[in-house]
């Protein structure tokens, strides 16, 4: 009864009303402040990012094929013993997915002699310069030390002919002619080679010339060289040239006809084309400093393998042993097709313009894997033996652009990772603009701000 009487007192009632209003205003202020913290651009920046960068893509790329020890079904394979190679550095990869099947010091930087010309050829082919362009031989393109087709000043060859001489006869003068005619100079062409190396994310490769003559700043690794070869073999022109055993090129007369009297008869130095069944290339190399270098490739039953040895005394047999090992124990299987899998990821603070030109709130975005992927696995492993898991955030903040990397698929055989597929956004989502604060709340914030001072 006493409390009821106090409520009837006008002074007490006024105090209660003022206190209630103050409490409500303070509550609104607190909620507004928290909301401001959550939606402020500074805090959005902490979470508003994709999960992986382009560099991370390449960090995922070095996959090692499932070891034979991990699969008893392959333990009795006819050639299950690892190759015994006599090289300073070596590697065997599946060219389709760059899966590493066998390696020995594969990331050691070493000179690579004329295997350099794999990069020279593919850069020239992809340069945009027509392969039928006539190259008039200048003095600086002649007299290069080492292997040569003895180009003469004012002789005229097509760029394609010079690439044949480069890959089959390993002609250093042809390499210089290609570099100068395509790049403008040897140095500028070397820049083009290094740009391609960067594009392929070759961390341990640097070029100073198009032929591979010794230079302290001219080096690669077996792993990088295998990636170059695998990439080059995807080009139809390169594939055809590298696999030819013999070829004839003719300098052109002024009227465009062949000067048959000055023909060059080319014979491929790569004996693997004769020694190994299903061989398709690629390139030999040698200097006293580098030792014998060899890149070979073969394809069988849908699997393409690339082998590399650097500084090897018995390279032909090393490559035969590595390729035999690869074909006897491994095969390629498809992991996924391009855009085969779709996912939804929640998005915070996002909107888009709909077909009617109006803004609509977006609560989730469509995502998908961006490329077809395969893996090199033991012969006993089949597609149905492969599982996958997705690595995706629970939510991301707007804005999101189509093509932003948001996660990945991880393909596994038991607990062994056999491949990845990158997941990207399929949608563009804009960030909702900041709303102007309520004037009343702004006044309260201002008041309490001054009170702190």
Which residues are the active-site residues? Answer: 114, 117, 170
How far apart are the C-alpha atoms of 405 and 5, rounded to whole Å? 68
Q: What angle do CA 4, 8, 9 make, to 5 degrees?
A: 120
How far apart are the C-alpha atoms of 80 and 94, rounded to whole Å? 17
From start to end of 105-177, where are the E strands?
134-136, 156-158
How far apart are the C-alpha atoms of 248 and 142, rounded to whole Å? 20
Cβ burial of 450 (10 Å; 0-12, 13-18, 19+) is exposed
CB-based contacts of 311: which residues, under 8 Å, 6+ apart? 87, 88, 89, 110, 290, 291, 292, 293
Residue 343: count other Cβ atoms within 10 Å of its Cβ.
18
How far out from the chain centre does Cα 73 lie?
Answer: 33
How far apart are the C-alpha atoms of 434 and 409, rounded to whole Å? 35
Report phi then psi at 146, rounded to 5: 90, -160
Contact (CB, 8 A) for 120 and 179: yes
How far apart are the C-alpha atoms of 106 and 227, rounded to whole Å? 12
How far apart are the C-alpha atoms of 41 and 36, rounded to whole Å? 9
213-232 CB burial, b ≥16 within 10 A, e <16: beeeebbbbbbbbbbbbbbb
Q: Sign of the CA dihedral 373, 379, 382, 385?
A: negative
How far apart are the C-alpha atoms of 216 and 90, rounded to whole Å? 21
């Amino acid at each position: 009864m006493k409390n009821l009487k106090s409520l009837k007192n006008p002074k007490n009632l006024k105090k209660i009303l003022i206190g209630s209003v103050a409490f409500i205003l303070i509550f609104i202020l607190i909620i507004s402040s928290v909301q401001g913290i959550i939606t402020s651009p500074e805090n959005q920046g902490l979470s508003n990012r994709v999960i992986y960068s382009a560099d991370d893509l390449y960090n995922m790329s070095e996959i090692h094929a499932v070891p034979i020890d991990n699969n008893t079904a392959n333990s009795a394979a006819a050639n299950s013993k690892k190759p015994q190679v006599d090289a300073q550095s070596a590697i065997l990869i599946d060219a389709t997915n760059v899966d590493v099947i066998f390696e020995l010091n594969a990331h050691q930087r070493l000179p690579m002699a004329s295997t350099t010309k794999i990069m020279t050829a593919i850069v020239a082919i992809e340069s945009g310069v027509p392969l039928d362009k006539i190259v008039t031989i200048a003095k600086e393109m002649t007299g290069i030390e080492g292997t040569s087709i003895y180009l003469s000043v004012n002789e005229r060859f097509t760029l394609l002919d010079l690439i044949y001489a480069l890959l089959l006869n390993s002609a250093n003068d042809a390499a210089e002619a290609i570099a100068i005619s395509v790049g403008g100079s040897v140095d500028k062409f070397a820049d083009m080679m290094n740009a391609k190396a960067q594009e392929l994310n070759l961390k341990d490769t640097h070029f100073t010339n198009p032929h591979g003559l010794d230079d302290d700043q001219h080096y690669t690794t077996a792993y990088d060289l295998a990636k170059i070869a695998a990439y080059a073999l995807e080009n139809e022109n390169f594939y055809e040239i590298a696999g030819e055993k013999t070829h004839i090129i003719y300098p052109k007369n002024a009227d465009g006809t062949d000067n048959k009297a000055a023909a060059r008869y080319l014979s491929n130095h790569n004996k693997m084309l004769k020694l190994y069944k299903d061989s398709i290339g690629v390139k030999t190399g040698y200097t006293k400093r580098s030792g014998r270098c060899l890149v070979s490739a073969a394809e069988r039953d849908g699997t393409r393998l690339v082998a590399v040895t650097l500084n090897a005394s018995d390279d032909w047999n090393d490559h035969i042993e590595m390729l035999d090992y690869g074909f006897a124990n491994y095969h390629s299987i498809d992991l996924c097709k391009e855009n085969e899998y779709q996912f939804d990821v929640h998005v915070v603070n996002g909107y888009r313009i709909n077909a009617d030109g109006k803004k609509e709130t977006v609560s989730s975005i469509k995502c998908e894997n961006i490329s077809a992927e395969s893996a090199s696995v033991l012969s006993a492993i089949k597609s149905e033996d492969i599982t996958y898991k997705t690595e995706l955030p629970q939510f991301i903040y707007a804005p999101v652009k189509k093509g932003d990397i948001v996660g990945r698929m991880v393909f596994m055989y038991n607990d062994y990772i056999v491949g990845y597929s990158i997941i990207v956004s399929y949608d563009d989502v804009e960030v909702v603009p900041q709303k102007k604060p309520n004037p009343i709340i702004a006044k309260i914030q201002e008041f309490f701000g001054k009170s702190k001072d």
